[in-house]
Amino acid sequence: MRVKYMYAKKCHDRPDGNCQFVACNGSSGLGLYSRPFIESFEETPMLVAVLTYMGYGILTIFGYLRDFLRDWKIERCHIAREREEQRDFVPLYQDFENFYTRNLYMRIRDSWNRPICSVPGAKMDLVERVSPDYNWTFDYTGKVVEGVINMGSYNYLGFAENTGYCADASAEVTMKYGVGVASTRQEMGNLDRHEEMEELVAKFLGVESAMAFGMGFATNSMNIPALTGKGCLILSDELNHASLVLGARLSGSTIRVFKHNNMQSLEKMLRDAIVHGQPRTHRPWKKILILVEGIYSMEGSIVRLPEVIALKKRYRAYLYLDEAHSIGALGPGGRGVVDYFGLDPRDVDVMMGTFTKSFGAAGGYIGGRKELMEYLRSHSHSAVYAASMSPPVVEQIIASMKCIMGEDGTTLGRDRVQQLAENTLYFRRKLTEMGFIIYGNNDSPVVPMMLYMPAKIGAFGREMLKRNIGVVVVGFPATPIIESRARFCISAAHTKDMLDTVTIPPMLGLYPLSPPSPPPRTQTSRAGRYTVFYDIPVLMQGPV
């Protein structure tokens, strides 16, 4: 058994057979964590990995056979391709990407992009569709599949609804302001509601100032280039979202990727950056920016923020925290991963998040020091050129945020935050008892359940829909080729009966890889292949 956290005390065997590691911060005995931090990532079993590769191999062989038949006009090809007179042109598509789309993805395309014709709440209505040509095209039957349990939306606090306090407030603002501003914030599109929203966001986060943007993806991809440039170094988690990756690439900065949630990997890169400086010239970096997420949407893991902040302070770097999935979904007050760990928001230089999930709205925000916000207002492309947020969307954000903060005069928001935490623990425990392999942190409302084999991706989604359960299934290239999964997103709007319906074995119709058994003595972590049962894990000795 190997533990890659420094200064870990001896492992104490507990009566239940689990192994728990307790670490201390030098001689003081004070850890960086004030609560248990439990995550599990079980490696793909060897037999399952072999069978998965065999499945993809068989699909690939049959794909090349079908391409041969299409070239000889024996089988009709439905996919768009270059005309005969353009054969000497540079192809529009890379060969393997096109091959994968028409021969693998197309076989299970019906598992995605299902049209919804209702509010995506705890239950939703889907438009029924059929395909006469094996998912190349879809026909709508005119029927509606009603009452589908929604296990795929990021509606963490249940604010995606068309009735209630938030909906009424948005409707009232629509009558006064209309549905669009038709201008940028710097020209004629700055409303009093925008100002109020940004002040409320800053108060909610506990920072000096905040500013909002109309698109969550652009909040990352357009603001990171405004913060760093040539001569700067970006240290990015290997599982960061595409918006963070794109923003880092557009910035022109040097990018180095550290292993997911692995503080040893991050510290090594920080140390090397300080010692060696820039390539060739060895001059000091102008800035070192660490990019991490609060909750990783494909893994269900939570960032080790206390350790990241400790490293950031020790090596005098800057920290950019993306709380798209954690804001509203973590912490006793719903204030995200900073609230979850009980940290000071001022220790995070750039606090980013989105309104598209917990708040049931659209857009994103950045919070931090007032000087930073003033700089971004004049240098960020999203702030200068993008249209203002729609007034009813702004009001939805204000109303839902006030509800979470308790400023609406009720305890509805706090009750939803608590209900989400309870639903998350209950659902994860049920899946574990059934023997399924699930990833992530115990407190993460994102619950990946491993499927592995390509045939199970489409089969799982279809079988669940037959039972009026809507789920998201994910496979290659969104995940590693041997780690296909179904991703459940828990909501405060889910009732215990709904969660029981999803997890009752006869309803599920699919069986785990092995019978239920007690948790193993060790569970493997992707962030260095070590046991992940902690009480107070720490990173280093001495003052930070």
Catalytic residues: 297, 325, 357
Rounded to 5 degrees, φ, ψ at 116 are -105, 140
Return d(Cα 53, Cα 44) in angstroms, integer: 12
Give which of 74, 55, 58 is closest to 66, Cα–Cα.
74
User: Could you give the dihedral angle defined by the CA atoms of residues 17, 423, 39 and 431, in that order, rounded to the nearest 10 degrees?
Assistant: 60
Tokens of 185: 């914030």
Buried b (16+ CB within 10 A) or exposed e, 60-79: eeebeeebeebeeeeeeeee
Give the bridge partners for 116, in sequence order: 126
Instruction: Determine the straight-line distance between the first and last CA of the chain, rounded to whole angstroms.
Output: 29
Q: Are 239 and 257 in contact (CB under 8 A)?
A: no
C-alpha–C-alpha distance, residues 303 and 293, integer Å: 6
Count CB-CB contacts under 10 A for residue 24. Answer: 16
The candidate with the shortest Cα–Cα distance to 257, out of 231, 239, 271, is 239
The closest alpha carbon to 110, from 92, 94, 134, 80, belongs to 134
Beta strand segments in 164-219, E:
209-213
